[in-house]
Copies of this chain bind each other. A is one copy, B any other.
């Protein structure tokens, strides 16, 4: 075990897998000589050489398409998007090629698409987005969003060994702000198993990614007010751990869904819909959602903070449900 930031945990998983499996290679913009815009692959060029650490031209669709092809003949590419916002430029290759290849032909595409998501760092409309819902809606893709350093490493290790395309979404605010004890050597966290961050009886808060930390803090706050909150961290949206969600809600009889992506048609809607269909008889209150407002992510801090979910917003919604 050693203290690692969320960012170091990602590097560690990448490095371990590249040492373990010669078929793993990485490509993206400025990842080799520069070590990546966030320095996640610092030192990789020296250790693994230019054949396995490839600086690409600014051509997301081109290098994603190339990496997907290499994946069908035994390689396990990990593609870095400098900011996840640019995944929109490779959208066709991901949703139409990577996602459908195995269903069409029975040929697996073991590839990881990774990159920094999320706001809160005043980076404006094009460096702050959370695109998970687009991919969770696309059959054939796995979608993973770690909230802790430990999960970041374990889930990335699993994602690289997975035989399917995995969209692995990192939160850039957590990169350097979040730090914890992480095992030094390899371990896996299965994709499709949620985690309980707090255990409680009165309300289930279902969340994922960076928002989980807000929810845990809300749980602590409300604990002091006498409420017992269960925070479910989905960790993966596809596959989705429906059992854990439903068990929790059947126990607490109240559900609040929280994420950083904007509300409308966000993945929280899917979670709420599942609860409304499959835990209906157990519900003592409406299924509520807290998420970002439905606008692009604005640059100016007062606007951005008003747009993002916050401890206060979540706590208010939780209190409303508890009082219902």
**Residues of chain A whose beta carbon lies under 8 Å from any beta carbon of chain B:** 85-86, 88-89, 91-92, 95-96, 99-100, 103-104, 125-126, 133-134, 136-137, 139-140, 237-238, 240, 257, 261-262, 264-270, 272-273, 275-278, 280-281, 283, 285-289, 294-296, 298
**Chain B residues closer than 8 Å to A96, beta-carbon distance:** 85, 88, 125-126
Apart from the given pairs A238-B264, A278-B286, 7 other A-B contacts in the complex at a CB distance below 8 Å: A134-B137, A136-B264, A140-B295, A269-B270, A269-B272, A273-B289, A280-B285
* B296 & A286 in contact (Cβ 8 Å cutoff): no
CA distance in complex: A136, B133 (Å): 11
CA distance in complex: A256, B59 (Å): 43
| A286 nearest CB across to chain B (Å) | 4
Oligomeric state, in number of copies? 2
* A104 & B133 in contact (Cβ 8 Å cutoff): no
Selected from B95, B238, B281, B286, the residue in CB contact (under 8 A) with A88 is: B95
Selected from B125, B137, B280, the residue in CB contact (under 8 A) with A265 is: B137
CA distance in complex: A254, B197 (Å): 34
CA distance in complex: A269, B263 (Å): 12
7 closest residue pairs by CB, A with B: A276-B276, A272-B273, A280-B286, A137-B265, A91-B91, A88-B92, A269-B269
Closest to A261 in B: B137
**Chain B residues closer than 8 Å to A133, beta-carbon distance:** 133, 137, 265
CA distance in complex: A126, B85 (Å): 24
**Chain B residues closer than 8 Å to A126, beta-carbon distance:** 96
* B91 & A88 in contact (Cβ 8 Å cutoff): yes
Closest to A124 in B: B104
CA distance in complex: A288, B287 (Å): 15
Given contacts A125-B104, A273-B269, A285-B280, is CB(A296)–CB(B99) below 8 Å? yes
CA distance in complex: A231, B219 (Å): 41
CA distance in complex: A136, B7 (Å): 32
Selected from B95, B261, B272, B277, the residue in CB contact (under 8 A) with A277 is: B272
* B265 & A269 in contact (Cβ 8 Å cutoff): yes
* A273 & B296 in contact (Cβ 8 Å cutoff): no
* A and B contact pairs by CB, cutoff 8 A, 19 listed: A88-B95, A89-B92, A100-B125, A100-B296, A103-B295, A133-B133, A139-B294, A139-B295, A139-B296, A140-B295, A265-B269, A265-B270, A269-B273, A272-B276, A272-B277, A276-B276, A276-B287, A280-B286, A280-B287
